[in-house]
Structure 1
Amino acid sequence: MRTTVKKILKQYGWQLELLLFLVLSLLWVLPWATSGKLYTGDDLGFHLNRIQGLAQQLKLGGHWWQIPAVSTTAFSQWGYPINLFYPAVTLLPAAWLQALVPGLGGYYLYLILLTLTTLVIAAAVAHKLLGNRALGILAAVLYTFAQYRFLDFFVRGALAEGVVFAFLPIVFYGVYCLAYGDDRQWYWLAVGMALVALTHVVSLLLCAVGVVLMASLWLLRREGLARRAIHLGYAAGFAIFLAATFLAPLAEQLKTMGKLGVQQYTLITSAMEPGELLRNSLDNALSSAQINFGIIFILLTVLALVVWRKLLPLDRYYLIIAWVFIFLATKLFPWQLFQNLLGAIQFPWRFLALACFPLALVGARAISVACRMVTVPRQFLVVGIATVAVVGLSLSLNNQLYQQTTSANTKIVTAATYPAVASGDITTDYVSQKGQVSMAAVRTHSIPVMNTQTNGQQLADLQQQGRQTVANGFIYQITSEVPQTIKLPQIFYPGYRVTVNGRTQRPSLDANGVVHVKVPTGRSTIGYRYQRTVVQRLAAQLSFWSWLFLLATPLWRRYGSGLQMRFRAYWQAHRVANK
């Protein structure tokens, strides 16, 4: 019997693992998916608008593989260039799914896909780090069903931060390779950091701090410091190349737009009180005002301390670095000294995301040691029991959250309300501070309203006949009885171009960044469209060739010598045949 099980696992191991992860992914979203409802929490409405904007741009004629710079059909439909400031690469699958299954169904499918991806990546990395497939699966389950990840998706609605969980194990493995393992595999860190950069900018800053701290792993080996430092430089540079398609346009916009409307926070104020963090974790609190990392990781920490002497040095390091990140989430760290440098992270408790994977690793090892997971049957038993316990707790918390939020809660979305919620967000984080005062008028999409005089009267000699939404902007139809300069209900961003009756016109801007154009007497067609800038085009080329090089190099190393030998043999046979 045991031999048969081993044979099946050897022959169909990855298929069975994938099937298990698919079932777990379905279970993770099951309570909400079967209810036909969705709790938006703090930020999910914003992210649903991002998804809806991408999906609608595809319907307006955009390329399925290309991310539009502006959103003309969401965020109150004024042409918000959200994708220049907030990376959208990892939202493209959500947009494709919306094209197939619109509304809540498409979003739930996206969550299933994200959870499956997170499980697969976490299991692969944990397998390499722990040296055991069963432990890899257990660590992946502990990580993917972590309380903090649950809060990100279902309580806070922080979709982008939740997506980043899929890539944090790659970052962790990249640092492991550079500081302790085979530093010739530095490219893993580049890939992980690039994927984070293409998902959530604040998480990129968190990961940069995390990489600096996790470089201390070198102390366990103390070998090849200079060589490893050089490879770290390679990883940093290549990560920038891979993510240049987003980072370069972002830098271009920030340089032009100046100070934006993103809300600022004092880090020492937004950090957690240590006692509060522990109490929330022991309670598995389900509120965005009660951030925590869950009772499971507390219990696993206690178990790891109990079996401390039987843990490997690497396992002990995982536990220590995890609690360093937890320490950074609290007011115990002197955050007031780093306000200017790291103020963009807004909330120090975001470091809890970095603590989850090392806690899952050491937790899996501690369970293995405590339960003596030596034989295959025992591994099956322990991993099965632990998985059922973790998933069962997650389902219970999901049900508890559902009961708390579905009674007369304005943040609940149904199939009927989804279209309005996913297109009407009024966020202005990425509008310059000087342009904020004009946003109420901009959202009317009305040229007459935009040109209201100081006495409150609209211009009698100016009428708007229509406004057409296109993939990259808008077309206005107006009639003016006199030649004049008028305001468009648009805030200017680098890349937007104006045409009046087919002729390109360089617009003027007022102090608020509102676009002014000259129109002649009579009927005019005004086009206001976004065109990719030179910086965007060059950055896209740089990223494309960098990704191609990254993918082609290992393939060439693996198959190149064989291809060369075959070519030489063919050439020699050809020469002999022609003699």
Structure 2
Amino acid sequence: MEHLKRFCRAHGWALEAGLFLGLSLLWVLPWLLSGQTVAGNDLAFHLNRLRGLADQLRLGAPWWRVPPLSTTTFMGWGYPINLFYPAVMLLPGAWLQLMAWGARGFYLYLALVTWATLAIAAWVARRLLHSRLQGVLVALVYTFSQYRLIDFFVRGALGEGIAFAFLPLVFYGVYCIAYGDYRQWYWLAVGMAGVTLTHVLSVLLCAVGVVLFMGLWGLRRTAGWARLSRLGLATLLTLLLTASFLVPLAEQGHFLGHIGVQQYALADSAVRPGELVKNSLLTLTPTPDHLVSLGLMFWLLAGVTLLSWRKLTGVERYTFVAGWVCVWLATSWFPWAPFQPLLGMLQFPWRFLALASFPLAVVGIRAVIVLGQPANRRERVGLLMAIAVITVSFQVMGNVGFYHWVQEQPDGRGTLMLSSDYRAQSTQDPNGDYVTPRGLVALDAVRTHSLAVMNTQRNGQRLRSLRALSRETLRTGYRYRLVSTHAQWLKLPQLGYAGYRVTVNGRAQPLHVDGNDVVHVHVKVGRNWVTYRYQRTALQRWSGWLSLVVWLGLLGTGSWRRWRHVDFYTK
């Protein structure tokens, strides 16, 4: 027994990583074996993003860099989607798609994301609770929460689901700044940068969480200015780490004039409290009819926390209350109307359930230990193992239950996507979220890829002076071959964005766009080669190098301190 203890102590990290890998594969196992997917609300959109990245790599794009556009997906018109929706966290998924094509490659990527979420959550929880076992259990409760299952499998919200991996770092960074060792302020920047480079709307969610959890400072009320300055430094470092995405996004916004994120009335989209309780307590199987759920485990942990309330510290009590404030924000009981102009981009207030999950898991597991009062290590391990088994069982039952529910539905009810449907679903999404309102007028014509359609005359007749010969898809754009009977201006089936360049017969032309953002080119008599390519702008190049240098500096400093046995940035 003593030999086993020494082995576990020496190789705990490897055992933990292996456990997380096995559970991550178990989490996606029904779908991985079947090769089927469920076309949730956003899944087709994210599959097009993922397939677009993989195709760009096949066409010769550098494997380490996010290409700005997709030439083969989103109906193949050159949508520069990656300038508006961060894609750096999708690169590992694109690499996997090159090795394991289709739905199975996608689920291997979900397993990788789940493994990373478990590892990060366990590390943060171990720093907070000073226990490897408790850290592992917090990671299981958090990562296998029902809301996260809904995000990935029911809603198909891949970006929001990946952001779960970085929310523990955001919480830990705020905790360090507000209450703990404020010299570890950089963790807030790392967490916020991870969220920013994954799901932009979750940044607004995290900003609300930072304000809420900064209230921990009131429990100690020391080093106020020092802590506030660290919050400012964390904000600045976040901007530098994410400049490679934020600067090109701002550049496109300036070029286009207006790009609006779709908004909903928050008061209408918030979940009713009764519905939230019913979905959480009465069913372990999430379905489109029971979409918003916190999960039974969190309600059980809340009961344990209340029973051990007097034995908890002030920090634990505040964290518990703040976590349930996030749950309150998800419901229609919160007066959302006055906050609509400020937070309308959140679209669905029940996204706050993601923000509530980690702090509630930390306090809940701590409360289990306090209330259970295990007399020795063996009893403590037994108690935590029992909770781990319950947590994993709930998740497996929910996932398998949803899988069987989908199989039993009439055609179309569960929007089941077979392997044969994957190619169409991953290339033909008609999304136009990042097209200006004026550009949407011409988008249907642009999607035809036809010069003849784009140059239809007002009387409905095709232009007789134009004969299109071919269209070639390139890594960074398209090449058209055409014949014109006289020199004239023609419309390309393309929309204009900052960075696109036009050449006709090898000669560059200024980018001309009309009132509908459609690109116009001037061609000569006879045969013409028209190339429409994307080229990274100076701002994109400089901001990319800036972020790279800052990331390398952060990692290099941390590695050097680690090598010198200094407590990672704190001394």
How far apart, CA to CA, are the structure 2 residues paired with 1:426 and 1:73? 13
> Residue 146 of structure 2 contacts residue 286 of structure 2 at CA under 8 Å; is this kept in 1?
no
Deviations 1:392-442 (A, max 9, x none): 111111122112223423722222111111111000000001111111110
Q: What TM-score, normalized to structure 2?
A: 0.96
1:197-236, aligned counterparts within 5 Å? Answer: 197-236=196-235
C-alpha deviation, 1:90, in angstroms: 0.3
User: Which SS does the other structure have where 2:458 is aligned?
Assistant: coil
Q: Which residue of 2 aligns with 1:42?
A: 41
2:428 to 400, 407, 424: 424
Deviations 1:151-177 (A, max 9, x none): 100110000100000110011111111
Q: Which moved more, 1:98-107 or 1:401-410?
A: 401-410
Q: Which residue of 2 aligns with 1:566?
A: none
Q: Aligned AA for 1:464?
A: A
Q: Which moved more, 1:270-279 or 1:151-160?
A: 270-279
1:314-393, aligned counterparts within 5 Å? Answer: 314-393=315-394
How far apart, CA to CA, are the structure 2 residues paired with 1:138 and 1:312? 20
C-alpha deviation, 1:374, in angstroms: 4.8
How far apart, CA to CA, are the structure 2 residues paired with 1:158 and 1:258? 28
Q: Which residue of 1 aligns with 2:279?
A: 280
How far apart, CA to CA, are the structure 2 residues paired with 1:261 and 1:157? 22
How far apart, CA to CA, are the structure 2 residues paired with 1:526 and 1:379? 71
> Residue 496 of structure 1 contacts residue 529 of structure 1 at CA under 8 Å; is this kept in 2?
yes
C-alpha deviation, 1:557, in angstroms: 3.4
Q: Aligned AA for 1:48?
A: L
2:442 to 438, 447, 451: 438
Deviations 1:92-124 (A, max 9, x none): 000000011111111111011011111111001
Q: Aligned AA for 2:372?
A: C
C-alpha deviation, 1:317, in angstroms: 2.0
Q: Which moved more, 1:403-412 or 1:450-459?
A: 403-412
1:494 to 495, 498, 505: 498
> Residue 97 of structure 1 contacts residue 110 of structure 1 at CA under 8 Å; is this kept in 2?
yes
How far apart, CA to CA, are the structure 1 residues paired with 2:199 and 2:551? 19
Q: Which residue of 2 aligns with 1:452?
A: 456
Q: Which residue of 2 aligns with 1:86?
A: 85
Q: Are 2:160 and 1:161 equivalent residues in the alignment?
A: yes
How far apart, CA to CA, are the structure 2 residues paired with 1:17 and 1:338? 43
C-alpha deviation, 1:542, in angstroms: 1.1
Deviations 1:173-198 (A, max 9, x none): 11111011111111111110001000
Unmatched 5+ stretches in structure 1: 563-579
How far apart, CA to CA, are the structure 2 residues paired with 1:418 and 1:510? 36
Deviations 1:420-469 (A, max 9, x none): 11111000000001111111110110111111112211111111111111
User: Which SS does the other structure have where 1:416 is aligned?
Assistant: helix
Q: Which moved more, 1:42-51 or 1:268-277?
A: 268-277
Q: Are 2:559 and 1:555 equivalent residues in the alignment?
A: yes
How far apart, CA to CA, are the structure 1 residues paired with 2:237 and 2:513? 38
1:384-403, aligned counterparts within 5 Å? Answer: 384-403=385-404
> Residue 150 of structure 2 contacts residue 286 of structure 2 at CA under 8 Å; is this kept in 1?
yes
User: Which SS does the other structure have where 2:529 is aligned?
Assistant: strand
How far apart, CA to CA, are the structure 2 residues paired with 1:533 and 1:374? 64
Q: Which residue of 1 aligns with 2:569?
A: none
How far apart, CA to CA, are the structure 1 residues paired with 2:445 and 2:175? 52
C-alpha deviation, 1:77, in angstroms: 0.5
How far apart, CA to CA, are the structure 2 residues paired with 1:192 and 1:259? 29
Distance 1:344 1:561, change over 3 A: closer
How far apart, CA to CA, are the structure 1 residues paired with 2:254 and 2:330? 31
Distance 1:374 1:150, change over 3 A: farther
C-alpha deviation, 1:385, in angstroms: 1.8
Q: Which residue of 1 aligns with 2:406?
A: 405
How far apart, CA to CA, are the structure 1 residues paired with 2:486 and 2:132? 76
How far apart, CA to CA, are the structure 2 residues paired with 1:59 and 1:558? 38
Q: Aligned AA for 1:218?
A: W
C-alpha deviation, 1:310, in angstroms: 1.8
1:298-313, aligned counterparts within 5 Å? Answer: 298-313=299-314
Q: What TM-score, normalized to structure 1?
A: 0.94
Deviations 1:357-413 (A, max 9, x none): 011101111222233345332233222221221111111111221122234237222
How far apart, CA to CA, are the structure 2 residues paired with 1:282 and 1:379? 27
How far apart, CA to CA, are the structure 2 residues paired with 1:241 and 1:537? 14
How far apart, CA to CA, are the structure 2 residues paired with 1:249 and 1:540? 9
How far apart, CA to CA, are the structure 2 residues paired with 1:64 and 1:376? 48
Q: Aligned AA for 2:26?
A: L
Deviations 1:502-533 (A, max 9, x none): 10001322111100111001110101001111
How far apart, CA to CA, are the structure 2 residues paired with 1:341 and 1:307? 38
| Paired residues, number | 561
How far apart, CA to CA, are the structure 1 residues paired with 2:182 and 2:260? 41
Q: Which moved more, 1:454-463 or 1:548-557?
A: 548-557
How far apart, CA to CA, are the structure 2 residues paired with 1:454 and 1:394? 59
Q: Aligned AA for 1:287?
A: T
Q: Aligned AA for 1:520?
A: K
Q: Are 2:15 and 1:16 equivalent residues in the alignment?
A: yes
User: Which SS does the other structure have where 2:11 is aligned?
Assistant: helix
C-alpha deviation, 1:5, in angstroms: 3.3
Q: Which moved more, 1:32-41 or 1:239-248?
A: 32-41
How far apart, CA to CA, are the structure 2 residues paired with 1:120 and 1:303? 25
User: Which SS does the other structure have where 2:471 is aligned?
Assistant: strand
Q: Which residue of 2 aligns with 1:270?
A: 269
Q: Which residue of 1 aligns with 2:528?
A: 524
Q: Which residue of 1 aligns with 2:54?
A: 55
> Residue 283 of structure 1 contacts residue 294 of structure 1 at CA under 8 Å; is this kept in 2?
no
Q: Which moved more, 1:79-88 or 1:315-324?
A: 315-324
Q: Which moved more, 1:224-233 or 1:287-296?
A: 287-296
How far apart, CA to CA, are the structure 1 residues paired with 2:95 and 2:64? 10
How far apart, CA to CA, are the structure 2 residues paired with 1:428 and 1:548? 35
How far apart, CA to CA, are the structure 2 residues paired with 1:213 and 1:135? 25
Q: Are 2:509 and 1:505 equivalent residues in the alignment?
A: yes
> Residue 31 of structure 1 contacts residue 395 of structure 1 at CA under 8 Å; is this kept in 2?
no
Q: Which residue of 1 aligns with 2:294?
A: 293
Q: Which moved more, 1:86-95 or 1:358-367?
A: 358-367
Identity of matched residues, %: 52
Q: Aligned AA for 2:287?
A: S
1:535-546, aligned counterparts within 5 Å? Answer: 535-546=539-550
C-alpha deviation, 1:316, in angstroms: 1.5
> Residue 134 of structure 1 contacts residue 379 of structure 1 at CA under 8 Å; is this kept in 2?
no
> Residue 48 of structure 2 contacts residue 429 of structure 2 at CA under 8 Å; is this kept in 1?
yes
How far apart, CA to CA, are the structure 1 residues paired with 2:439 and 2:277? 42
How far apart, CA to CA, are the structure 1 residues paired with 2:77 and 2:393? 45
C-alpha deviation, 1:340, in angstroms: 1.1
Distance 1:261 1:236, change over 3 A: closer
User: Which SS does the other structure have where 1:523 is aligned?
Assistant: strand
How far apart, CA to CA, are the structure 2 residues paired with 1:123 and 1:560? 25
